[in-house]
Copies of this chain bind each other. A is one copy, B any other.
Amino acid sequence: MILALAGGVGASKLLRGLAQVIDPAELTVIVNTGDDVILHGLTICPDVDTVIYTLAGVADQERGWGVEGDTFNALQWLGRYGRECWFNLGDRDLATHLHRSALLNEGRTLTEVTDLIRRAFAVRARILPMSNERVSTIVLTDDGPQSFQSYLVRDGARRAVRGVIFEEIERSRPAPGVLEAIETADGIILCPSNPIISIGPVLAVPGIREALRATKAPIVAISPVVSGRSLKGPTDKFLTGLGHEVSALSVARLYHDFLDLLIIDRLDTGLLPVIEALSLQAKAAETLMDNPERKIALAKETLVCLASLTGWRR
């Protein structure tokens, strides 16, 4: 079983490739839920949905969020009622949030609900939220604290990041199956997601980082930073805001207590010796996944790296 730790868009590109290279039934994905947001009384899990929609083949890959060909008629009327409409909710997407919220209100856990949703799409990969408890990623800016979605979507990630808090994370526990998956995986992949606010919350759930340190499975990460810039999203703002340079080297440092190998972009080949000086293996590859072939190629490369590490660790 291959285990992947994932945020939203960046991760799902690699997962799309992986699911074509290995039997998806052999893939487990632990997904960040720190971005989750409650709007209009609905529990919305953007990263979980992006991963499921992508693996189901219904994601809008151009926009990077939501469902391909979705309409926005409910949202237009929510606006008419004076409700907050900065978070885009397509009509089909809304059905997912309605279904999830109704099941949660009936007492189902987020793990159970996530499993029902991915099965409704015949997604064969197992999708686990990082935790059943609600954790909220809060971004500290000069204008005060903001929820992550409000910082990113409502305000367009304009403000400098002064800090990040994962609210209630101390009280959260890994979702059922998460620690077992880390322990029993044949290989673990940290997807090219924002290491601070996508992978960061997953690692901060008490027990998960420790389990990654303890597992016998080899662990490979893919840097979302290429030649000093984040490929998409505000990864650079978060790295800078927390005092890290915007470089694959920072990704190596953030993961180095449990990571075996970091895949960096070809353009960063010069960083290989510096990263290896951290007692990490490093490998340069084409990490830009702008077409299906490149997703598959990077997935294959990642699996080759994992295979090369098998039996090597500890």
* Interface of A toward B, CB cutoff 8 Å: 40-42, 70-71, 73-78, 80-83, 90-92, 94-96, 98-99, 101-102, 105, 116-117, 120-121
Known: A71-B73, A73-B70, A80-B120. A41 touches B92 (CB 8 A): no
In the complex, besides A77-B91, A83-B99, 14 extra interface pairs with C-beta distance below 8 angstroms are: A40-B99, A40-B102, A41-B105, A71-B71, A71-B73, A71-B91, A73-B91, A73-B92, A74-B74, A74-B92, A74-B95, A76-B95, A81-B99, A94-B94
Q: Which of B82, B95, B102, B116 contacts A77 (CB 8 A)?
A: B95
Q: Please, which residues of chain B bring their CB within 8 A of the CB of A101?
A: 41
Q: Which residues of B contact A42 (CB under 8 A)?
A: 98
User: A95: which of B78, B96, B117, B120 is its contact (CB, 8 Å)?
Assistant: B78
Q: Which residues of chain B are near A41, meaning CB under 8 Å?
A: 41, 98, 101-102, 105
Residues from chain B with Cβ under 8 Å of A81 in the complex:
95-96, 99, 116-117, 120
Point out the residues of chain B lying under 8 angstroms from A76, CB to CB.
92, 95
> How far, in angstroms, from A117 to B78 measured CA to CA in the complex?
11
Min CB–CB distance A20 → chain B (angstroms):
23
Q: Please, how many angstroms separate the alpha-carbon atoms of A41 and B105 in the complex?
A: 8
- B92 close to A77 (CB less than 8 A): yes
Bound form: Cα–Cα A42–B74 in Å:
14
The chain B residue sitting closest to A120, CB to CB, is B81
**Least Cβ distance of A176 to chain B in Å?**
22
**Pairs across A and B, CB under 8 Å, 17 listed:** A40-B98, A41-B101, A41-B102, A41-B105, A42-B98, A71-B73, A73-B73, A73-B92, A74-B95, A77-B91, A77-B92, A80-B95, A80-B120, A81-B117, A81-B120, A83-B99, A94-B94
State the oligomeric state as a number of copies: 2
Nearest B residue (CB) for A42: B98
A-side interface mostly: helix
CB <8 Å contact, A99 and B78: yes
Chain B min CB distance to A306 (Å): 35
Residues of chain B lying within 8 A (CB to CB) of residue A70: 73
Nearest-Cβ distance from residue A258 to partner chain B, whole angstroms: 37
| Chain B residues with CB below 8 A from A74, complex form | 74, 91-92, 94-95, 98
Docked complex Cα distance between A83 and B81 (Å): 26
Please indicate the chain B residues that have their CB under 8 angstroms from the CB of A105 in the complex. 41
Alpha-carbon distance A254/B62, docked complex (angstroms): 62
**Distance between Cα atoms of A73 and B95 in the complex (Å):** 8
**A116 contacts which chain B residues (CB < 8 A)?**
81
When chains A and B are docked, how far (Å) is the Cα of A278 from the Cα of B273? 102
Chain B min CB distance to A35 (Å): 21
Q: How far is the CA of A95 from the CA of B94 in the complex (A)?
A: 10
**CB neighbours of A121 from chain B (8 A):** 80
Q: Determine how close the nearest CB of chain B comes to the CB of A85; give it in whole angstroms.
A: 10
CA distance A120 to B77 in the complex (A): 10
Determine the chain B residues whose CB is within 8 A of the CB of A117 once the complex forms.
81
A98 and B71 contact, CB distance less than 8 A: no
